[in-house]
Amino acid sequence: MSDLHFKTITELAAMLAAGETTSVAITQAVIERTAAVDGQVKAFLSSDPEDALAQAKTSDERRTSGKAIGPLDGIPIGIKDTLAVKGQPLRCASKMLENYVSPFDATCITKLREAGAIIWGRLNMDEFAMGSSTENSAFQTTCNPWNLETIPGGSSGGSAAAMSAGEAIATLGTDTGGSIRQPAALCGVVGMKPTYGLISRYGLVAFASSLDQVGPFARTVEDAALLMEAMLGKDPLDSTSIAPQGETNYAAALKEKKGPWKLGVPQEFFGEGIDPEVKVNIEKAIDWYKEQGCEIVDISLPHSELAVPVYYIVATAEASSNLARFDGVRYGHRSDEAKDALTLFTKSRGEGFGDEVKRRIILGTYVLSSGYYDAYYLRAQKVRRRILGDFEKAFEQVDAILTPTSPTPAFKRGERANDPLAMYSSDVYTISVNLAGLPAISIPSGFTENGLPIGLQVIGKAFGEADMFAIANAFEQGHDYYKAVPAL
Partner 1 sequence: MSETPHIDIDYVAKLARLDMTEEEKSKLGAQLDDILGYFDKLNSVDVEGVEPMAHAHRVANVWREGDQPDETYAPEILTGMAPDQRDNQVVVPKVVE
By CB under 8 A, tell whether 393 contacts partner 1: no
Supply the minimum distance, in Å, between the C-beta of residue 373 and partner 1. Answer: 11
Give the contact letters, 259-298, x = binds to partner 1 (CB under 8 A), - = no.
Answer: ----------------------------------------
Supply the minimum distance, in Å, between the C-beta of residue 169 and partner 1. Answer: 31
Interface with partner 1 (CB under 8 A), residue from 120, 353, 391, 429: 353
Nearest to residue 233, comparing CAs of 244, 224, 223, 225? 244
Q: Which long-range contacts (CB under 8 A, 24 or more apart) does 329-335 make?
A: 331/97, 331/100, 332/96, 332/97, 332/100, 333/95, 333/96, 333/97, 333/98
38-to-57, 162, 191 alpha-carbon distances in Å: 24, 8, 21
In this structure, the chain runs to a length of 488
Give the footprint of partner 1 on residues 240-259 (CB under 8 A).
240, 242
Distance between CA atoms of 233 and 245, rounded to whole angstroms? Answer: 10
Residue 76 or 177: the one with the smaller Cβ distance to partner 1 is 177
Supply the minimum distance, in Å, between the C-beta of residue 396 and partner 1. Answer: 19
Supply the minimum distance, in Å, between the C-beta of residue 342 and partner 1. Answer: 7
Which sequence positions are flagged as catalytic?
80, 155, 179
Residue 5 or 384: the one with the smaller Cβ distance to partner 1 is 384
Give the contact letters, 413-432, x = binds to partner 1 (CB under 8 A), - = no.
Answer: -------xx-----------
Q: What is the dihedral of CA 357, 362, 367, 370, to 10 degrees?
A: 140
Residue 35 or 324: the one with the smaller Cβ distance to partner 1 is 324
Region class of 200: left (phi > 0), else alpha (psi between -120 and 50), else beta: beta
Interface with partner 1 (CB under 8 A), residue from 33, 384, 416, 461: 384
Q: What is the dihedral of CA 131, 136, 140, 146, to 10 degrees?
A: 40
Supply the minimum distance, in Å, between the C-beta of residue 311 and partner 1. Answer: 11
Q: Are strands 170-175 and 190-193 parallel, antiparallel or unpaired?
A: unpaired
HSE toward the beta carbon, residue 362, CA cutoff 13 A: 9
Supply the minimum distance, in Å, between the C-beta of residue 385 and partner 1. Answer: 4
Interface with partner 1 (CB under 8 A), residue from 259, 309, 373, 447: 309
The stretch near partner 1 (CB under 8 A) out of 129-137, 302-310, 408-416, 448-456 is 302-310
Supply the minimum distance, in Å, between the C-beta of residue 341 and partner 1. Answer: 4
The stretch near partner 1 (CB under 8 A) out of 179-187, 349-357, 444-452, 480-488 is 349-357
What strand order describes the sheet that includes 44-46?
Answer: 44-46, 118-123, 76-80, 170-175, 213-218, 190-193, 440-447, 453-460, 400-404, 262-266, 295-299
Supply the minimum distance, in Å, between the C-beta of residue 363 and partner 1. Answer: 7
By CB under 8 A, tell whether 401 contacts partner 1: no
Distance between CA atoms of 369 and 379, rounded to whole angstroms? Answer: 14
Interface with partner 1 (CB under 8 A), residue from 108, 380, 400, 466: 380
Residue 258 or 386: the one with the smaller Cβ distance to partner 1 is 386
Interface with partner 1 (CB under 8 A), residue from 50, 291, 340, 396: 340
Interface with partner 1 (CB under 8 A), residue from 56, 117, 189, 436: 436
173 residue type, one letter? G
Interface with partner 1 (CB under 8 A), residue from 276, 291, 342, 487: 342
CB-based contact 115:231 (threshold 8 Å): no
Q: Are strands 170-175 and 453-460 parallel, antiparallel or unpaired?
A: unpaired
Distance between CA atoms of 94 and 358, rounded to whole angstroms? Answer: 12
The stretch near partner 1 (CB under 8 A) out of 133-141, 154-162, 261-269, 303-311 is 303-311
By CB under 8 A, tell whether 485 contacts partner 1: no
Interface with partner 1 (CB under 8 A), residue from 369, 393, 450, 478: 369
User: Strand pairing partners for 266?
Assistant: 299
By CB under 8 A, tell whether 363 contacts partner 1: yes
403 backbone dihedrals φ, ψ, rounded to 5°: -150, 165
CB-based contact 78:159 (threshold 8 Å): yes
89 backbone dihedrals φ, ψ, rounded to 5°: -60, 145
Interface with partner 1 (CB under 8 A), residue from 62, 257, 279, 379: 379
CB-based contact 184:80 (threshold 8 Å): no
By CB under 8 A, tell whether 40 contacts partner 1: no
Give the contact letters, 316-335, x = binds to partner 1 (CB under 8 A), - = no.
Answer: ----x---x--xxxxxxxx-
Supply the minimum distance, in Å, between the C-beta of residue 434 and partner 1. Answer: 8
Q: Are strands 262-266 and 400-404 parallel, antiparallel or unpaired?
A: parallel
Applying CB under 8 A, the residues found at the interface with partner 1 are 100-101, 103-104, 195-197, 210, 239-240, 242, 303, 305-306, 308-310, 312-313, 320, 324, 327-334, 338-347, 349-351, 353, 355, 358-359, 361-363, 365-366, 369, 372, 375-376, 378-386, 388, 420-421, 436-437, 462
